[in-house]
Structure formats: C-alpha cells, structure tokens
Amino acid sequence: DARVPRGDDGGGDGASGGGDGSGVGGDVSDAGGAGGAEIPDGDIKLPELTEGEALDYHGIVPDQHFTQPPPRYTEATLIRALEEKGIGRPSTYAPTISTILSRGYIEKEKRSLYPTDLGKAVNDIMTSHFTDIVDVAFTADMEKKLDDVEEGNKEWRSLIHDFYGGFERVLKTAEEEIGEVEIADEVSDVICEKCGRNMVIKMGRYGKFLACPGYPDCKNAKPIVEYAGVECPKCGGNIVYRKTKKGKKYISCESVATCDFRTWDLPANEVCKLCGKFMVRPSWGGKNASLRCSDETCPNGAKPEYKKTEAKADAEADAKAEDKGGAKSDAKAGAKSGAVARRASSTRAAGSASTRATGSRAAKATGSGATRKSSRGKTT
C-alpha cells in the first residue's frame, strides 16, 4: 500500500515521502518532507524500506483486477491503424481488407474481424521466415522510397536490385524449410448419413461447408445449416438462417422446395399472444421497431408501414418542387427555342425562295439577251 507509515510515530524523512508526524503516514503522492521529489498524479511509489524495519498494521484491502484483452479490429479501426503507421494509401485500404477476407485469412462476425486457422498459419510462416517484410516499418519505408522514385530522386532499378537481392535468398531458404503445411479440419457434431462418420468443416469457394472425412470412399457433402430454433408459420418445418451473396442475413423455411416462407425480418425472443407463433423484428426499424407476428394471416402479423420522418418528407417535397419548377423552366426554354427555330426556318425558307426567284429572273434575262444577240447576228 502506498500509504504504509514508517516507524512507530508515522514520521518519515523527505526522501521517503513520509507523513506529517501525526502518527499516520501521509500519501506518497504528496511527497511530503523537505527532500521529497514530486510524483506525477496517478503514479504510486512505495517509500524506501530496509530489512527488519518495523511497520504498523492498519488493515488489508482486498482488491482484484482482471486484465482485459484489447478489442478486436473492425474495418474502421484497422484502416485507422494503417493510417497511423503510414502503411499503404487510401486507395489500397479497401482492396487490402477485401483480399484477406476473400482468401479466408480472417472472418467477419458482426463488425469484428477474427483470424482463421489459415490466417494464423500464414502469419506464423511470415513472422518466422520473412521478418523484414512483416515488419510494420517495412511498408511505410517502401512507400517513401517509391515516392522518391516518382519524384525523380531515386532510380527504380537500383531500388528493386537492393530489395530483391536479399529477398531471393530468404525465399529460397523458406521454400526448403517450410514444405507442406496441413491445417486440421474442424470436426463437427453432424453425423454423415451415408457412412456414420463425424463430418468436418471445410472451406470452399463460396464459404464453409460440411464434408465427410472418408473421401474418396464417401463423397457426401452439404451446406452448413444454422437453425433459428422456431417453426415455420406456414408448414411447421424448421426455420433456418441464410445469407445472400453479399452476406445479408434472412430466414426461410428449411423445405424451400415445398414452402415459400422467407423474410428479412429476423426472429425475436417473443411469442405472439394471439396465435402462439414466433415474433419477428422488422429489418428496417432497428432495435426500437415494433415486433410483429411471423404469420401474416394473424392480426399481429401485418407488416408495419414505413413512416418517413418529417425532415425527410420535407426534403422530398422540396426536391419535387424543384423538379417541377425545373420542368416548367425547361418547357419555357424549349418553347422559346422552338419559336426561334421556327422563325429562323421561315427566314431561311423565305431567303431560299427569294434566291430561287432571283435566279429564275436572272436566267430568263440571260436567255432573252442571248436570243437577242443571236437574232442580231442572223440579221447582220
């Protein structure tokens, strides 16, 4: 305890942060005494003690603290960490996360990112054989060197030569030492209906699935089904969770061939008081949305209407008014331009007719002159 008194009288010298001599030792954070050094707030420092020194017992205060692990990365916090460490560029953050997700190195549960067995294996190999590349400062330093190449301060061939010389040796050594890496499949409690073995979880192109470990003797495989623990309101079958290609979750009846029940509204831990079927929470209403019955024929099963907020309704009204006003102005402009075009067309038509008339008169005049000349020539 930082408040343990020294000696029988509680007095102490300044170097040990002793008390005021009143019989109870002072707080060392006060650094009492002439020679006491200041201790920052929040820091606790015990006084100097000597072997065999008698101390007064004032009591024991039981206190227990558990160290909490740091929170898991989310996409936002991971990008923030990359920015703080100078790794990558804004244009590379999204491709980096999508790459480690698509390759199965991490999994996304709700908003948190968790490493998979494959990701842990790859991380162990990289940290044990490619220590320079997985160093946090490597990417930031490489980005700086590439910026120098872009600005013309460094020649790119020398940069590649300096990097690849050592990397090639490390790569050859790693290829010789690593060999093949096997990742044990996770055994599930699902029994294969063909051979009786416990099926294992494997990673495929479209995610995880169940497969029989007796392959190639037994080629049984099926998707992993997550049951919701409720019965279908239409046929009484099991309700399962499913996901779209983009990862959005919904529920449907397990018998998709014979039952068409499916909805975006996920089950809530409540039962309808009228029909006894499970209640669902509307997907667009958030946590505060009113629950409804999963059976649409039930009076409690009517889907709630989407209510727009007053601000959104006003914004849409303003947008419609602007669109309407813009349409009117466009119509006026179109009518005006049409009138101008018609006047220009009539002007061009009149000019063309005048030109044709003038040309006709000129042709007639030229023809009569030529006749007169010809007549005078014959007369002569």
Backbone angles phi, psi at 238, to 5 degrees: -80, 140
- The H or E element containing residue 271 is strand 266-271
Which tops the pLDDT comparison, 2 or 209?
Answer: 209
For the ranges 19-23, 203-207, 243-247, 283-287, the lowest mean pLDDT is seen at 19-23
Residue 118's pLDDT is 87
Residue 77 pLDDT > 90, yes or no?
yes
CB atoms inside a 10 Å sphere around CB 160: 11
Distance, CA of 331 to CA of 337 (rounded, Å): 10
Say yes or no to pLDDT of 91 above 70.
yes
**Whole-number Cα distances in Å, 51 to 48, 59, 285, 340, 358:** 10, 21, 68, 109, 131
N residues, the chain: 380
Lowest mean pLDDT among 69-78, 120-129, 201-210, 293-302: 201-210
Is the pTM here over 0.75, yes or no? no
More confident residue, 178 or 378: 178
pLDDT for 266-319, tens place per residue?
Answer: 888 888 988 889 988 887 766 667 888 988 888 887 766 555 555 556 666 666
Query: Which pLDDT score is estimated for 183?
Result: 76
Question: What integer pLDDT is reported at residue 65 of this predicted model?
Answer: 83
Quick one: what percent of the chain has pLDDT higher than 90? 11
Residue 349 DSSP one-character state: H
**Is the pLDDT reported for residue 115 higher than 60?**
yes
- Residue pair 231/239 in contact (Cβ under 8 Å)? The answer is yes
Structure tokens at 69: 């692990």
pLDDT at position 207 is 72
pLDDT value of residue 282:
83
Give the Cα separation of 161 and 293 in Å (integer).
68
Rounded Cα gap, residues 345 and 239, in angstroms: 71
Band (pLDDT 50/70/90 cuts) for residue 56 is: confident
